[in-house]
Amino acid sequence: MTELPARRLLLVHAHPDDESINNGATMARYAAEGVHVTLVTCTLGERGEVIPPQLRELTGPALGAHRRGELTAAMAALGVHDFRLLGGPGRYGDSGMMGLPDNDAPDCFWQADVDAAAASLVEVILEVRPQVLVTYDDDGGYGHPDHIQAHRVAMRAAELAEAAGWRIPKVYWNRVPRSVAEGAFARLRDELPGLPFTRSAAVSDVPGVVDDDRVTAEIDGTGAPAAAKAAALRAHATQIEVAPGDRYFVLSNELAQPLFTTEYYELVRGGPAGESAGGPAGNRETDLFAGVDDTAEAA
């Protein structure tokens, strides 16, 4: 068995592009530092809305196959070599937005048995033995059924992996401090006339926004990680359009939103390093591995 690097990070996401939007700078920074970064994506996003007119004929499995290629290109931009689909390609289908008939499709991720899906993730955890797990909160960040299910599966897999012999020392949820989001949207409103977009999203459209005191860690991705994140977002061309300057982007709703190069997290399992806690930036962790022993942590 190949010896793994001392530090190992696992991220669990719902669809291709979620990883780059939420954690692209973090992934690029840690990959460049020699951390073993593993991404598990739960669906291929077959029900996503396509932005470029020339690609709008892509639907269902054809769109999923195309988005798998986009994911591969995005991971190359971030320098991440270990990325997988939960249960293998096509095991779980995109569930669509909450409340649509798509949610009832028997093969969609929303209908998956949580323990069965978690068992597939446990296999990855026992292989990679991550010290840090990153996923969504219990609302999936914004209420999408696949994001909620990804949260459930990731958290359940952490429990099952511990019973099987590997305890993940630290678990984080994706977050954005409310003050940061509000400041970024204020700048966006001022700069919107000079962008190729006509309308702005709102703070409420950003997944995972919480009061500042909930945020316990921030990862500075300025510089090379930020450039890698923008390149990864551009790789997801069916879903994302990035404005020149790499500061803003839109999804298929055509609402501009900030491209965050500092990424934020809430520690929900494990102790923060030293006296770090949530609240102002000076009190937050600046390394997700802070306080983690590089040696293996058996349950």
Binding-site annotation, residues: 15, 18, 147
Q: What angle do CA 254, 256, 258 make, to 5 degrees?
A: 145
Residue 286 · residue 218 · CB < 8 Å: yes
Contact predicate 200/192, CB 8 Å: yes
The angle at the Cα of 13, spanning 9 to 19, to the nearest 5 degrees, equals 75
Beta bridge partners of 93: 108
- Radius of gyration in angstroms for the set of CA atoms belonging to the chain, rounded to a whole number: 18
- DSSP letter for 160, please: H
Q: Can you tell me the distance from the alpha carbon of 112 to that of 154, in angstroms, rounded to the nearest whole number?
A: 13
**In whole angstroms, what is the distance from residue 157 CA to residue 87 CA?**
13
Question: Residues at the annotated binding site for Zn(2+)?
Answer: 15, 18, 147
Residue 217: phi, psi to the nearest 5? Answer: -145, 145
